[in-house]
Amino acid sequence: MSISKQDIKYVANLAKLELSESDIDDFVDEFNSLLKYVEKIKELDVQNIEPTYYVHSIKNVFREDTERCSYDRADILANAPDKIDGYIKIKN
């Protein structure tokens, strides 16, 4: 499998990107190099190798939820540049 200029142009169009011809050439080279590397990895014999799920032992550390005082609504609104009906007004 290889990537062509047309493939890069198609994906760039989907992502709404404007690429120069030089950028397209660079991406073609980079992606094809990456795909060659993936093909090499696919050739490895890993049949007798046990899968590794995590290299490091992972333990989630959760903290207890605690109530904390919040800012007073009036103080927040007092610092807002523009407000309407008790809410901060922003530009659309």
- Say what the pLDDT of residue 24 is: 97
The pLDDT tens digits of the residues spanning 41-71 come to 999 998 998 887 777 777 888 989 898 888 8
Mean pLDDT to the nearest integer, 9-34? 97
**CA angle, residues 33, 34, 37, in degrees to nearest 5:** 90
- Say what the pTM is: 0.51
Do the Cβ atoms of 12 and 28 come closer than 8 Å? Answer: no
Q: What is the DSSP string of 2-17?
A: ---HHHHHHHHHHTT-
Distance of CA 28 to the CA centre of its chain: 22
The residue to which tokens 């050439």 are assigned:
25
Mean pLDDT to the nearest integer, 70-79? 89
Question: How far, in Å, CA of 16 to CA of 77, rounded?
Answer: 39
